[in-house]
Amino acid sequence: AQRVTQPEKLLSVFKGAPVELKCNYSYSGSPELFWYVQYSRQRLQLLLRHISRESIKGFTADLNKGETSFHLKKPFAQEEDSAMYYCAARKGKLQFGAGTQVVVTP
């Protein structure tokens, strides 16, 4: 079955520390991969996608096809990064992981 797995429900990091959110996918073939973010009291929004190879708000995501992973990283976490992060894959329909809550403390 197609699956997107985010093993961490909660990540608590200090401001200025690196943060890495893990995402693994199980799909036949190569799905499109995304990270979405939901800040407190805001709607879900796209953060970045793997084909763009871009850095948004200091975040990057590395696609590793061998390990079927798409981990999200930021070298220096900021308090405004506190949010819920969802990894998602699409081959046809968009499928989300369960999400990781990131809390950045000063």
CA angle (63, 99, 83) in 5-degree steps: 100
Task: State the virtual CA torsion across 104, 88, 45, 76 in degrees, nearest 10.
Answer: 30
Identify the bridge partners of residue 87 per DSSP, sorted by sequence position: 35
Q: Is residue 43 near another protein by the rule CB under 8 A?
A: yes
- Nearer residue to another protein within complex by CB, 34 or 104: 34
Q: Is residue 49 near another protein by the rule CB under 8 A?
A: yes
Binding footprint of another protein, residue count (CB under 8 A)? 21
> Given the rule CB under 8 A, which of 12-20, 21-29, 41-49, 72-80 is the region that contacts another protein?
41-49
Contact of 21 with 104, CB cutoff 8 Å: no
Binding stretches for another protein (CB under 8 A): 4, 9, 32, 43-46, 49, 51-52, 86, 88, 90, 92-99
